Every structure is written in structure tokens, then in C-alpha cells.
Structure 1
């Protein structure tokens, strides 16, 4: 990384400063410390030849002419010091760079004003927000003011790119932008600390953070200096806000004097923001909190947290997240707490998909109680974290309950622990049989049947889940049932039913989210898969982009963000944006906690294989096979199996490819997974082995819902039929499946070429090449023999103008050539592309 960071992120501000200097003699740049005022001023001054700099510090404010002392002789002025100094310094075209002008001593400030007002000098001054600087120049419109706001997220991204030499990942940009608050100085210190710690590195998909960023000693000192010289009540304000932000103004007024709040606000240590009918207090910068918390003694911190909890509890904890805040403060204070409070807070934390916090509170509830409800809840959380053996240990210590409600709760936890967790199918069946024989209440039985069916589905037995009855009016039971049923339906090829059911139950999530938060992500994943495989890739991608962006905005647990990003990668792969798919899949893998990474590996493998990277694809598939990232979601790891024939196509001969692909299809059939069987069979069509699977694929496709399965069947039927292959390619293109369209057009070109080169073959090849150009990173076998049609730069230029409906005469006038030359070039273009006229040009040009 360069010692001085490049100038980036402030290009518009620099242009504005330049405009103001053109229009008048001076500009004052204001903003908080570290925001980039000095660098902006220096970049603006670099456009001028005669530049001098003043040197102003807090220590020199009482020394006359201290800011200009380095420019003046040691002997003092005989008369007027202002005129004397100005006579020595003034010259044509002079620009005075007055950094930290709020530290100028009065005589220096007066001389600077004199040079600007009477000697033709220009000035570029900087000052911290809130200081009155060079007021007489500003009053007479001789000094324009520009205030620097924090860098935008885009500005942060550009600055990071310039400093690091290549782009950072989106999540790293967001995280560093939030931490730095758009402050360039803080950003540099954070990046330096992260690189020194080895957690910021270029991992292929861009510079990425692999762990939390800790403050460097220098950055801590910078912030500590800002927070120095606080009195006791101001320190109380910052203690409370750092532990609780955002904290309601009314709550804070119970804890500290109003004058202390006003003082902290005046010193720009806190900000007051409206929040509906309330006002919330935050620290003025995100990093202040970390410094304050790190320097707060343990006993004082514990006391502050208890005081916060008591104060909020005394108000009745009216807002939905108040219970969570009270529980966390109480837990962190170290004082004994109420298990029911911890349990309620844990449920709320999971409803917001903050799994680590939910687990922490779950342990607190269980340790304070040890009963069925808290124990069963804790085991669900431990399973989510991949702590399956520990979950089973907790369950073994819970005595058998006598009532049906507790039995239902405990049975659900045991099914999940031995199903999703330990993958012990026999145990799952035994637990279910024992419980269902004892349960009599219909809602209890329906809930356990749904949980049991879901365990079977994720362990590759989808029929029981698909055959569950439609959800009833009870929203919580509907979530249990739909979570299982959509998983079964989507993998049996019943895409429309799955997408419709997922959409309906997600639409009433407010009624069940707190009770069954895990169903939220499951239904979103099933809806995406059903919509995508059902033949509506555009809707599938739009929906998952919205879901993913919402997860980022709400800063959900990384697993939820990672799995949504995995779905985005799948959508990108189906659309043909292979490089994007590969990047997103790798980023999703890094984001997803260890216990759930196996789910993402299939997409990592497929995206790598589509890009021709056999090693990465094979490594990902082997990691699934070796259970390096063990998961009970076997249904979701099956995607890795689909990568095997693609890897074989990159590393082996055609018979091996066919044998591998049929083995994958047979495995899917053996587990009664029609959706995966159809994909595996069609992949062999894409890999040139349609004749081997033609009949089987057509039969398989007939059992699937949606618009995509019939197209896959028609693609298989079209093998060896050039026009039919082109028709299939057009249908793929209309669906937005551009890579599929490119491969099918390439197959058509090969068919047309068999009797020898013909216009149809040339056209199909040119169209396939143009389609492939819309698939960045794609390197599949069907594209290997495509050739650039070989248009010259002039032919391309004329063709591009022709598709805009310009006549030959208009093109000739535009390019200052003859009409005959235009027509000759167009005829050459038509011949190279295998077409007869302009109508087909648009589809064949990049």
C-alpha cells in the first residue's frame, strides 16, 4: 500500500473548489477532523504555480505572525507589521494554503485577509466545523465556503480501490465505511491495522476482511484525544450511550443531568436524531464507542449496564426490542437474572436472525432454569451453530415431561438434534414414533408431523413432506407445515405449488416470525429455487436481490446473508454471468459460518466448472464428499453432485463424462429427487450427449411443473436438428438464460457445418459468439469451438450504426465516406455473419 494514499472519493468536491477559485479570490473548506480537508486543499493548490503554506497550531495561536514566521526574516518590522509582511510575501499569482485556519493567530489572520483583499492573492483555507474563521472576507463575499460531508460509500470504495490497487468486496466496503464514518484518516488507520493483522487480503474476489478490525494504537490515541478533558457527568453520558446506542433521549434523561447532555452535544460527541415520535441519542462517530468501551473499567461498566437495565425496565419496556435490550444489559452486568426474561429476549434475537446473541441468551435462560422449555430452545440454537453433540447432551439432561405441550416442545428439539444435527435417521424415526403415539391434541400432532417430515426431506426423503396437508389458518402451524412442504415440493419438480405456498406463507410472516423464525430463510430459499427452476429466472433473481439487500441493511447474522448471496450466485449462473456467480459463491462461502458452509459448496463448484476451473470445482465437490463442512441439509448439498460431469468434461474423455452424468442422474432417481435428475440429464444434453439421455429426459421433464422443463425436453428432441436448436436457443434467450442460449446456438452451428460451411452455420456461429460475449467468465465445452466472426473495426462501426436505423446515406455523411463504401462494408458484414440484411444484425453484435 502506498505511503500516501491516492486522491479519490472527493473528485466532485475538487471540481467545486476549482470553480470557486475561478470565480473569486478564496475558498474556505470546513469539516470535522480527519475528513480530508487538508488533502483536498493540497490537491486544489497543486494546480497553481506560486503556493505558500501557513503553519498554524493551537500552541502558536498567541504568537503574532506565527503562521507566516517561516516565510519572514528574523529581524522584526520597523513599522506596520501587516504591510511589512505583505511586502515581503506578495507576488503575482500567489496562492496561500492556510491549513487549520482556526488556529491562526490574530495578526496572521489579518495579514492573510490583507493579502487577499489588497494584494491580489488567492487563498485556500481549511477549518474545523464550528469555528469562525476569516469572517470579514466571508462577509464581503471574498471567501466562499464549502463544507465537507463524510465520504459516501461509493467514495469510500474508490478510495480503497486506489489505496489497495484493486477493488474491495462489497461487504468489506460497507463494513469499513460504517466503521470509519466516511472519515478518510480513520479509514486509512483501519486499513493499515487490518493489513498488519493479516485479516485484510486480496482473496481473488477482491480485498476482503476475514475477521473483526481492531483499532490501532495510533487511531485509539487520535480518538482518545478527542474525548479527553471530560467532566464526570459528560463521561457518564458517553458511558451510557456507548453501551446502549441508540438510546432514547427520555431514558437518558433519567440517568444524567440535562446540562451534561447539552454539553456533550455542543462538543459534537453525541448527536440527537428523530425516530418517529421519539428522539434517539447516538455517538457522533462509530469508533468513539469502541474507544470508550475499551477504556471503561470493568466494575464501572457493570454498574452502568445494570443502571440502564433498571431504568428501561422501570418504563415498562414498551417497544418490541426493549426486552432484548434489558436482558442483554442485565446479562452483561453479571447480576443474576430472570430466566423468563432471558428466554423472551433469546426468542426475539432469533426472530431478528441474530443467532449468536440468541444462543448467548438461551444459555443464560437454561442455566437459570434448566427446564424443558429453556432446554429445548437452547438445543435448537446449538444445532444452528453446529454444536450438535452439545445439543444432544443438553437434551439428555432434561427429564421427560408429563404434559403434551412440553412433550411437543421437547420432541421437536430432539428431532432436530438427531436429524439436521447428528443425521441419525433411525433415531429420528424412533423419536417420532414414541411421541406421536402419546400426543392426542391435533395441533401438537400436526406440528410434530411437520417437523418430522422436514427432517426426512433434508435427509433426501421428500415425499412425506410434499404430502403434508395444506397449512391451516393458524399462522404458526402454517409456518411449520409450509417450511417442510415447500422443501418436498420443490425437489419433486412441483415448482408452481412450492412457489405459491412459500409466497402465501411468507406473506403472513408477521403472524409467525417470532415463533418460527427459521422458516423465514427456508421458505425464501425454496421460493427462489422453485421460481428459478420453474422457468422464471428474472423474478427469482429480483426477489433474492431484494431479500439479500434487506439482510445487508438489517445486518443479519452472516449465515443468512451468505445463503441469500448463494442464491444470487445461482441466479447469476443460470443467467450466464459466470464470473459474477463465481465471485458471489466464494464470498457466500466466506460469509457463511463453518456449520453451514457445505450448503454453499455446490454453487462454488458449479460456478467454477462453468468457468473452466476444474481444480476449484473438484476441491469443492470433494469437500462435500469428505464432510469437511458437515451439515444435515443433505438435500442442499446435492448441488455439488451436479458439478461432477462438468469437472469430467474439463479433465476426461466423452465416455467418462457420460458415465459420470448418468451416475449423478441415477443417484438422484435413487433418492426420488426428480428435480436433480432432470438437471443432471439436461447437463448431458448441454455437454453433447443428448442421444444417450434423450428418451429418459423427455419422460422426466413431463413430471415437472413450469415453463423450463418443456424447453429442456425440446432441447433434447432438437439434437441434430439445426433449426430446432436455434428455436430452443431463442426461447432460452427470452427467459434470460443467455449461456444456455449460447451453448444451444453453438450446437446448431455444429449441426449446420456438417455438410460444409453454409450461411445457416455461419449465422448460428456468429449468434452463439455474440451470446457468449454476454456471459462474462463462461468457458463451457459447447463454447470451445466458437470463433470471432472477424469484423474489422470499420465494419463493426458501420454495423452498429446500421442497427440504430440510420440509412446508408446517413451513415456515409456521419463517417464522411461514400454511400458505396458503406454498402460494400455492410455486404461484407452480412457475409461474415451469415445473414441477408440489417434485420438480423442487432442480435449478432456485441
Structure 2
């Protein structure tokens, strides 16, 4: 899209506010819009005024609010001039007869004129639309207007994520990928002004680009432009010296603990900035921290700051942290980072220690830069960027890095620490999904002949083996390296490498072999710490997948007493697998409490994020009916740097997001996300387990959007594939999904053996197997029993669905009284579950649609066209001709009963059933005409 129309922002996602304003003007004395700076109050005011003028109202504008030469709005410089020129309506006139006076920034009025305005409105002679900043006191007359309920008090909030997606689609004319949406949200928190300026800046500098019909943005890659910087500075006007000092300190060192702020004598400044919404306060147990309210302002303020000032503030914060004891690992990392950015490069050991902490926290860019600093002999060795600067490109890891690693042999004093830094850097690069560079670094360091601590050496070999086997697909070479290293260090000292064998077996979908390898390693000798923490969680995971959650829990409990000594990832994985096993045994609520108690899964909480654990938590939340909470967690994980983790591929969290969106009623967004998943699967190599998880979510989205036959076919194929590999749990879930969307018709005789085998797992898996067979048999009594057992376990959404299906089965067999009882049970369960029945269950109660269903290909074309893609782009994506796309669209228009491309989204919503509203914003809705703008 050209940037020549950079301010052509169609107003959208503000239906509720504009309706409220129109009703307030028609039925009352008007409305007062209140909100923080930049949320779009002025644009809403201007839009409401233009619409009122178009309806024939007499509209008068003060200070330029909504006025333009092409409208019927009269403009005045001051409210006094306006009130002198206006002819008030008669006291007994109707609301439509009253002149409408509009005042932007009404908090700037003096008291006398505000009182005069209040009297005219109170007498029914005028209506008023006004806007005021939330943090500014309004004059007496304006306060009396809303206190006496003469006008509507309308709060204008920033956009939520759904509304922001709608606004971006209206501006860009296409779909914005999930990671980009989260990055823009993290930078602006939905502030309309900041969003507009950031998007226009990104379009202008070319960082926001459209690839295959999808807009992608990697984040700010350079200093913000002048206009973007100036807009942010507008919100920071009139700061006192202390407030300015605190804002600058936050820009270079946030978050700041309240103790550090108090020690700097800036507590009063913090209170004032909190009232103005310039800073936000975070509370976690006894810890109170401050951050800048608009994250984007941090970059702008830091870029405008003197280097000397930034260095001074960083040193002061680092010193304060050290004086308070630096009790947490996070504190040590912050101290090293702040001092390094201030130009005080710490000792190599301190850099390595901080890099390990950053790696554990999955702050890969920071860990990479710390490793590069530790590798340097002199500042000129590598052209290392600032710690929070742009990411270095792959050229950095060519001759220069090999020279640094191989030269250490000739420098005995520096050899060991620099090889250790290189080994750590290799692990960081694997985490950043740069496998070729990681292999270059690890190979050079491991073959340098320099002796390093055994645990670091073995850990680096583990990283190299998994990187070779799965990212680079050099499986034979990986196996030879593993065997060679075990022989070199001795089987009794290999520790982690035994876990490497088990992990490779799991990722190869050889779960029985993984369990056998793990049991042999654990039984051979009393397992040391590295062996136990690498083998136990992985073997427990394999057991749970094979349908033996009780055996997995027994294994985990055997090592419960020593689990506290394990590293963070091993603990997180063990806790996650433990909760997974509890849920499979039917203890869903206790499993959820166990995961919530850890407080380490949420991105943004300053804790490590293990994607496998997060995905397990989200799956459990969805089963408990909390899909929207799962959506929020998944969005944050997708936008983070922690998107690469064996065996989790970057497509897996995105696929689960699509499924959670479908369950929460956002069907259109779920389909768009599924398109992203398909594109990503072509770019990323997957593993059998992750591919099957993605296939399940794909089938689920198809089911929720009405393509039941395709959903059932995919689910059955998945069940057969997982069953052949012995993965009982996944096979049972897939067969149940097929049965749910086809009333049991998809479950055929060969599948019964698989379901009978699943019953041996007990707990939830047995209930799900019984559920699938009851659907296949049309057995209302069995479905009622399944419902009761699911209620006892806490899976209320699935229990409500089982009750509805029991009612249908009873009606089909002529047992109408039992059918009514089951329907009543369903109605009682739905409010408690927090979700509505899925569309395939509701289908028998909705009237038949006049239009035929879309075929899977027509549905795909319709979704892509609704996102704004051209026919040529759709043809390229689907590898068909443009004429084929045109023919599909012709049939789609006929089936949906529409005549224009702009109506596609409305037609799709109607076809798949209007989604349950999840927020007050109307999704995918644009105002007619497209000529109005949003701030």
C-alpha cells in the first residue's frame, strides 16, 4: 500500500461509542467524552458532529472540533462567541430543535462560561457534545452537567486487541499476523494516536510489509522518526524537574522498584505521574514496580537523551540495586546489563553469569549480546552492537567468530572463559532458531581442544546433537557425535546425554523406545542430578502420551524430594507433566491450581516461559471453559522470542491459538490464524507430536466454522496415525472430535478396538472413549452418564455438550421425558461453563439456511478474500489460476446471497453463525463510505 494516503484511517471499532453519542444528543442534553490523551476522543467528537449535521441538526463548533469547510458546521474561536451568536431553542421545543454545541478540550474553559453553558443545557435550550482529558479537572459548569445527569458521561478507552486488529485491517486492507499484532499492542497498548503514528512510521521506513497478503512487522529496528517522537513528547509536556528525571530513569532502566524511586527522592514525582497516567504501577506480592504507561515512549525518550545522562542514570539504578542486596537472579542480570550499557564492561565471569540468567529467562537477544561481549579480547575484536540495539546478522558468525574461537588455543589465560562463552553462545543461537550459525560456533568451540567444566561440555554436546538432528536434519552425524561423546566421558558421567537419547526418541515418535531407554538409564545406577533432571520429565511425558498417566505420576513422585535441586526448565517441565497427568486422571481443578501456583508461565511476568508448559496450561484452561484466558496467554507467547523450543515448533502455539479463538466465538479470526499456521508449516520443519497437535487444532477450527466433513476426516486420519504410534490420549481425543461433529457416524468398527484400549488409561481418557462410543451408538443413557462424570471432573463445557447430545439421542429413540431432562441439565451447565454450545450441537435447533454450504476450497477463498487479498495474491497462495479464483468467488457470492467483496465478512459470519460477542467492540465492521477517519 502506498503511503501517500497515510492518514486515510477509516473509523471503525467505535460503533458502541458513536451509538451512545447519537442517542445522548437525541434524547438528552448531549454527552461528555472522557479519556486519556490519544485514545481518539477528538475523532469521535468530529464524527458524531458530522453525522448530526448530515441529519439536519444545527451544529456549532468551538475551537475547530469537527469543523471543515466542506461541512454545514459553523465554527467559532471561543465558547463565549458561540453562545452570543447561537439562537437557543424554545424551552418547550423538542430535542431535535436544540442547537448542538461542540467543545473539544472542555477542561480548558473558564468557570463563568462553563456555568453559562450549564444553565442553557439545564433549561433545555441547547445540547452539547464535549471532550475532556481524563487526568485534567473540568470547570464547575461541566461537572454539574454530568453530575446532574443532564448529559451522558462516556468513557473512551484504548482499543482492545480485537478492535485494534479491525482498525489495522481497515487501514492496511489486509490481515495482520498474530506476532505483529502483539508487537503493536505491546508498543501502544491500544492507544489510537500512538498506533496510527507507529503504523505510518513503519509503512514509511518499510519495516511494515505485506507478504502473501499478510502484513508483518518485526518491531522497531531503528530510531523512531521525528513526527513519532514529537507526538510522544506532547504527552510529556509540563513536567517538573523531578518528574522529568523519573521519566528518563524509567526510559533507560524500567521497571523501577518503589524503593529505588524513594531512595532517589522521586516518590512525589511518581505519584504525580501516576495520576497523569504517564506511569503505571505493578504489584507482585510485596514488590511494587513502576513502568512507563506507553511502552513506545521508552524508545523515544531514550533516543532523545544525552549519552552522559543515560549513563549516569543507569549507573545510579545499578548501584541502588546492589545496595538493596540484589537477592534475585533478575537483579544480577539487571545490574550487569545496566553497567554494560553505561560503558562499564564487567569481568568476563560476570558477563557469562548474566548471560546464563538471560538464557534461562529466554531473553535470547540480550543473552547473545552478553556472550559476544564475553568473547571479545579487545573492543575492536567484534563490532558488537549495544545491548538493546539491532540484532547482528549472520555475517557476524563467519570468519571473525571462528577466528576468535580458534585463536584461544594460543592464549592459555583467555582460552577457557572464551570457549565457555562460545559454548553458551551456541545454545543461545539455537534458541533464536539460527541453527547453521549455532553449529558453526559449537563445532569450533567443542573441537578447540580447550578443557571446560564437564557439565558445560556435556550441555553443549546435547545442544549440538539436537540441533544437528532436528534443525539441520543431519541425524546420522548427530547419532555418531552422541555415541562418541558418551564413550569419551563415560556412561556414568554422561548424565544429560542419556536424556538426549530419550528426547530424540520422543521427537521421533518412538515413545515405547523412549520409556525403555529412560528406565534403563535410571535403573542402571543411582541417578545423579544431570541424569535425573534430563530423563525423568521426558520419560514421564512419554508415559502420559502412551496412556499411562498413573505410571508417569509415580515416576515423578519418586523424585519429588530432589526436584527442587533441578534447573528451572526441568522443574517447569516436571510440574507441567505432573499437572497433565492429574488432568488425564480426571483431577482437572487440582491440575489447574498446580499450574497457577507456579507463576512462571505468563510472558511479561519476568519469569521463564517454557512453551510446552504454557501449551499444557492453555489446553487445560480451554477444557475448563476459560478459552479467552488461554487466548491472552498464547498471544503473548507467540510474540515473544521464546517461539523455538524442542519439540514445540512456532506453528504449534499459533495453531492452539486458532483453536482457542474458535472455541471463544471468534470464528473469522480463527480461520485467518489457521491460514497463518499453514503458511508457517511450509517454512518450519516439524515433529510428529507437534504436527499432530496442529492437525487436531486445524480440524477443530474447521468444525467450529461449519466444515464438519473435512473436520471429521482430518480427525479420523489423526486418530489412526496417533494410534499406530501408541499415543492413546491423542488418538482418543481425535476420534471423539470426529464423533462429536458427525453424531458418532465417523467412528467405525476398526476404531472400537482403539477406544477399548484407551479405557485402560482410566480417568479422563476413559470417559472420552466412552463418550465417543456412546455417540456412535446413539445411547442417551450412556451420554448422560458421561455428562455426570465430566461434571464431577470439572470439564463443564464438554459436559454441557454431552447433555445436549443425550437429549437429541433420547428424542430420536422416542424417550421425550428423558430428552427434556437432559436438555434441562444442559441449560443448567452452560452458564457455569462460561461458553456456548458448539455450532454442530446447535445446528438442530436453528432454522435451515437458504444458501448451500461452501466447499472447503470455497471457504478458503472466501476467508482470504475477506482479509483484503487480491485475486492474484489468492491464486498465488493456493497455486491456482486467477480465473479459478474468480469462478469460486462467483459461486460464493451466490451461496452467501451477497453482491460485493466488502460483504464477504458479513456473509461468512452469517454462514457459520454469528460469534458470541467477547467484547463491546463490533468485529470486522467498517462504516459506510470509508471517508471518515480515526485518530
**TMscore range, shorter length:** 0.5 to 0.7
Q: Does 1:223 align with 2:232?
A: yes
Q: How many Å separate the matches in 2 of 1:238 and 1:331?
A: 21
User: Which residue does 1:795 correspond to in 2?
Assistant: none
- Could you tell me which of 844, 866, 871 is aligned with 1:788? 844
Q: Does 1:456 align with 2:505?
A: yes
Distance change (3 Å), C-alpha of 1:20 and 1:478: farther
1:418 Cα deviation after fit:
0.8
Q: Does 1:321 align with 2:330?
A: yes
User: Per the alignment, in what secondary structure is the counterpart of residue 445 of structure 2?
Assistant: coil
Q: Does 1:241 align with 2:293?
A: no
1:585 Cα deviation after fit:
9.1
**Would the aligned equivalents of 1:579 and 1:776 in 2 still touch at CA under 8 Å?**
no
Q: How many Å separate the matches in 1 of 2:487 and 2:28?
A: 85
Q: Does 1:704 align with 2:754?
A: no
Query: Which structure would you say has the larger Rg?
Result: 1
Q: How many Å separate the matches in 2 of 1:6 and 1:777?
A: 26
1:569 Cα deviation after fit:
5.6
Q: Does 1:34 align with 2:38?
A: yes
User: Which residue does 2:868 correspond to in 1?
Assistant: none
1:96 Cα deviation after fit:
5.0
- Any idea what the Cα deviations from partners look like across 1:639-698, whole Å, max 9, x if unmatched? 4688999999957999x99999756644x15xxx56567678888986646433545654
- Could you tell me which of 348, 361, 382 is aligned with 1:339? 348
Q: How many Å separate the matches in 2 of 1:399 and 1:94?
A: 81
Q: How many Å separate the matches in 1 of 2:159 and 2:541?
A: 39
1:410 Cα deviation after fit:
0.9
User: Which residue does 2:429 correspond to in 1?
Assistant: 382
Q: How many Å separate the matches in 1 of 2:335 and 2:785?
A: 59
**Would the aligned equivalents of 1:31 and 1:147 in 2 still touch at CA under 8 Å?**
no
Q: Give the aligned length.
A: 742
1:341 Cα deviation after fit:
1.9
Q: Does 1:67 align with 2:94?
A: no
Q: How many Å separate the matches in 2 of 1:790 and 1:122?
A: 45
1:638 Cα deviation after fit:
4.8
**Would the aligned equivalents of 1:55 and 1:67 in 2 still touch at CA under 8 Å?**
yes
Q: Which deviates more, 430-439 or 602-611?
A: 602-611
Q: How many Å separate the matches in 1 of 2:248 and 2:675?
A: 52
Q: Does 1:212 align with 2:219?
A: yes
Q: Does 1:630 align with 2:638?
A: no
- Any idea what the Cα deviations from partners look like across 1:381-401, whole Å, max 9, x if unmatched? 322222333333323333679
> Relative CO higher for 1 or 2, CA cutoff 8 Å, sep ≥ 6?
2
User: Which residue does 2:457 correspond to in 1?
Assistant: 410
Structure 2: runs of 5+ lacking an equivalent = 1-7, 66-75, 92-97, 378-413, 849-935
Distance change (3 Å), C-alpha of 1:767 and 1:593: same
Q: Does 1:597 align with 2:650?
A: yes
**Would the aligned equivalents of 1:102 and 1:127 in 2 still touch at CA under 8 Å?**
yes
Distance change (3 Å), C-alpha of 1:745 and 1:310: closer
Q: How many Å separate the matches in 2 of 1:684 and 1:139?
A: 61
1:32 Cα deviation after fit:
5.0
- Could you tell me which of 729, 750, 753 is aligned with 1:692? 750
- Could you tell me which of 286, 303, 310 is aligned with 1:294? 303
User: Per the alignment, in what secondary structure is the counterpart of residue 398 of structure 1?
Assistant: helix
Structure 1: runs of 5+ lacking an equivalent = 58-64, 73-84, 793-846
Distance change (3 Å), C-alpha of 1:543 and 1:421: farther
Distance change (3 Å), C-alpha of 1:715 and 1:298: same
Q: Over aligned residue pairs, what C-alpha RMSD do you find? A: 6.9
- Could you tell me which of 370, 373, 382 is aligned with 1:364? 373
User: Per the alignment, in what secondary structure is the counterpart of residue 340 of structure 1?
Assistant: helix
Distance change (3 Å), C-alpha of 1:763 and 1:193: farther
1:454 Cα deviation after fit:
3.3
Alignment of 1:613-628 (within 5 A): 628=683
Alignment of 1:667-816 (within 5 A): 668=725, 688=746, 690-695=748-753, 698=756, 700-701=757-758, 704-709=761-766, 712=769, 723=779, 727=782, 730-731=785-786, 734-735=789-790, 736=795, 759=814, 788=844
**Would the aligned equivalents of 1:190 and 1:216 in 2 still touch at CA under 8 Å?**
no
Q: Does 1:494 align with 2:555?
A: no
Distance change (3 Å), C-alpha of 1:244 and 1:148: farther
**Would the aligned equivalents of 1:722 and 1:748 in 2 still touch at CA under 8 Å?**
no
Q: How many Å separate the matches in 1 of 2:62 and 2:754?
A: 83
Q: How many Å separate the matches in 1 of 2:736 and 2:28?
A: 66
User: Per the alignment, in what secondary structure is the counterpart of residue 684 of structure 2?
Assistant: coil
**Would the aligned equivalents of 1:466 and 1:487 in 2 still touch at CA under 8 Å?**
no
Q: How many Å separate the matches in 1 of 2:149 and 2:715?
A: 71
Q: How many Å separate the matches in 2 of 1:124 and 1:652?
A: 51
User: Per the alignment, in what secondary structure is the counterpart of residue 581 of structure 2?
Assistant: helix
User: Per the alignment, in what secondary structure is the counterpart of residue 759 of structure 1?
Assistant: coil
**Would the aligned equivalents of 2:79 and 2:113 in 1 still touch at CA under 8 Å?**
yes
User: Which residue does 2:577 correspond to in 1?
Assistant: 526
Q: How many Å separate the matches in 1 of 2:586 and 2:676?
A: 30
Q: How many Å separate the matches in 2 of 1:263 and 1:714?
A: 59
User: Per the alignment, in what secondary structure is the counterpart of residue 761 of structure 2?
Assistant: coil
**Would the aligned equivalents of 1:8 and 1:155 in 2 still touch at CA under 8 Å?**
no
Q: How many Å separate the matches in 1 of 2:736 and 2:107?
A: 71
**Would the aligned equivalents of 1:382 and 1:388 in 2 still touch at CA under 8 Å?**
yes
Q: How many Å separate the matches in 1 of 2:610 and 2:588?
A: 21
**Would the aligned equivalents of 2:621 and 2:629 in 1 still touch at CA under 8 Å?**
no
Q: How many Å separate the matches in 2 of 1:534 and 1:141?
A: 56
Distance change (3 Å), C-alpha of 1:91 and 1:185: farther
Q: How many Å separate the matches in 2 of 1:190 and 1:377?
A: 36
- Any idea what the Cα deviations from partners look like across 1:78-113, whole Å, max 9, x if unmatched? xxxxxxx59987975667544334545799679768
User: Per the alignment, in what secondary structure is the counterpart of residue 394 of structure 1?
Assistant: helix
